[in-house]
Chain A
């Protein structure tokens, strides 16, 4: 059985009510790779991710999963192939960590297939991977923001899908846990053969971890490819309206973005 699934958007238009956010977007998510979407606030990253994950109905165009229009596939079937972590999920009052993470097993269960040790194993694995093992029986609403974020990541992991789409999984996390989460996602890709798409705001981590980077601006993709090839000062300026210098990351040899603001600029370096 192949883990590689083809996720593709063709002529995709997405919006809310009358307002169109994403216009005529084409994207083929590279299978078995880690893809990172970057872009300014409100440029439509979450909207695109929701469209790709069939959470949002396109106004025109379509998303195809293994060649089939994803919005017409049975949602349960999609849920066994594709997991999503939305940007701001809602935890019900008083739910415990183990219970919430266990909800990730929902698509694998049904009326005739109830909880099994396989489900226990998936939950245990997800909690260990996100460093939340010690909190299994704690209520989610008594955790810190970063711990909560890790619980949600654990839920998406417990779903054990071959495709995983995560919207800003590293917000609220300290730098160590950010790196841990990205390492974990890389493990899923490298050893697990999964396909992962993440929205990230930290450009340096994005460049370091992405096999494929997608830069968005007002609802369209303006550059995509390997970070080394496409992340240039011009692209950063175009996407974020930010002057920046680009160095080499001494650890990973990927682009390292040094922003230039209006203050604390010691000397004007030659470009």
Chain B
């Protein structure tokens, strides 16, 4: 029997920590790079120095009003909205995936995004709404759908498996509802609803970021208070209880946080597909067992969102794609890769 010394185990743990730190640092660097690109690139060329000057113009006074407008009213709001919504999607995704112990269980798969979409399409086509009221409708739709899934899955408590199954069924049903709503729409409304459904940052305004940031700041304390519970919950309910986790209340709280994050982000930018779905698994893979990867998933989400938006704007010279089209393509490629990779390691789930 080998005796493991305290020092050895401390070294193993420190290696884990430093790996986690390296991943975080790498992601932050990549984000910084993407942010720089987002501020510099655009149809209207602005020299780097002028961009910096413009960023400080609220303090130092304006040098060039049209450059200030492009930097502060167009590029910066779009950048902020991409970062905030991407982080929210990423967090929401990894919370659900960890909680339900299933990489497929992200909010864009188990019906929560569909709830937001169905509500938004209803608001646009049947009620004739637009703008902020559609976002509010989408938020309400996401919350209601999550509540419905939770209640339907409840049977002396909630098991991960039932939530996933009922969530997927709900998603399919809501897709049918959306299709039905389209059959009743006029052409203009169809266009508007389709644009919302694909998800886009084209119309980002400074207010959007401020609203979203406020919402995130409100949810964050709850997330911080509960996130440690994930350590127990991902080991299964019995082990979680055994380790002293208050299983039902922690799970309910975390689900609430996950739903709220997905709902806020969807209300702000539309159901931009697959960002929530890919962030968790990417973060986990980067961490390689060095931790839960919750903060890292937020960074990956922000990065995927921002990079996709950059690609959407600049990849094709003549056309601007909606962000959701790029994330959709990226997500599909990722899903295929995930299937191949997990097939190779012989894991089935």
Against A, the Cβ 8 Å flags (1 = close, 0 = not) of B231-246 are 1101111110111111
Expressed in whole angstroms, the Cα–Cα distance for A95 and B238 within the complex equals 18
Which residue of the partner chain B has the closest CB to A53?
A: B242
**A204 contacts B by Cβ under 8 Å:** no
Indicate if the CB atoms of A128 and B4 lie closer than 8 Å.
Answer: yes
Against A, the Cβ 8 Å flags (1 = close, 0 = not) of B172-207 are 000000000000000000000000000000000000
Contacts of B238 in A (CB 8 A): 50, 55, 84, 86, 89
Which of A76, A85, A99, A141 lies in contact with B244, CB distance below 8 A?
Answer: A76
Indicate if the CB atoms of A103 and B243 lie closer than 8 Å.
Answer: yes
Contacts of A80 in B (CB 8 A): 244
Expressed in whole angstroms, the Cα–Cα distance for A55 and B170 within the complex equals 31
Report which residue of A53, A54, A86, A117 has the largest number of chain B beta carbons within 10 angstroms of its beta carbon. Answer: A86
Which residue of the partner chain B has the closest CB to A127?
A: B4
Against A, the Cβ 8 Å flags (1 = close, 0 = not) of B1-44 are 11111101110110110000000000000000000000000000
Indicate if the CB atoms of A95 and B289 lie closer than 8 Å.
Answer: yes
Interface of A is mostly: helix
Contacts of A50 in B (CB 8 A): 238
Against A, the Cβ 8 Å flags (1 = close, 0 = not) of B276-291 are 0000000011001111
Task: Determine how close the nearest CB of chain B comes to the CB of A91; give it in whole angstroms.
Answer: 7
Indicate if the CB atoms of A107 and B241 lie closer than 8 Å.
Answer: no
Task: Determine how close the nearest CB of chain A comes to the CB of B239; give it in whole angstroms.
Answer: 5
Which residue of the partner chain B has the closest CB to A131?
A: B1
Which residue of the partner chain A has the closest CB to B232?
A: A106
Contacts of B232 in A (CB 8 A): 103, 106
Expressed in whole angstroms, the Cα–Cα distance for A167 and B288 within the complex equals 30
Expressed in whole angstroms, the Cα–Cα distance for A76 and B241 within the complex equals 9
Q: How large is the interface on B (under 10, 10 to 19, 20 to 34, 35 or more residues)?
A: 35 or more
**B314 contacts A by Cβ under 8 Å:** no
Indicate if the CB atoms of A92 and B235 lie closer than 8 Å.
Answer: yes
Give how many A residues have a beta carbon under 8 Å from the other chain's beta carbons: 49
Indicate if the CB atoms of B284 and A75 lie closer than 8 Å.
Answer: no
Task: Determine how close the nearest CB of chain A comes to the CB of B243; give it in whole angstroms.
Answer: 4
**B162 contacts A by Cβ under 8 Å:** no
Indicate if the CB atoms of A124 and B5 lie closer than 8 Å.
Answer: yes
Expressed in whole angstroms, the Cα–Cα distance for A102 and B232 within the complex equals 11
Indicate if the CB atoms of B10 and A159 lie closer than 8 Å.
Answer: no
**B156 contacts A by Cβ under 8 Å:** yes
CB pairs A–B below 8 angstroms (18 shown): A75-B241, A76-B246, A79-B243, A86-B238, A89-B235, A92-B235, A95-B289, A98-B16, A99-B289, A99-B291, A100-B235, A102-B13, A103-B232, A106-B243, A117-B6, A120-B10, A136-B9, A136-B12
13 more CB-based (< 8 A) A-B contacts, given A90-B236, A92-B98, A92-B234: A53-B241, A55-B237, A94-B284, A99-B16, A99-B291, A100-B235, A106-B244, A106-B245, A125-B4, A127-B9, A133-B4, A136-B4, A141-B347
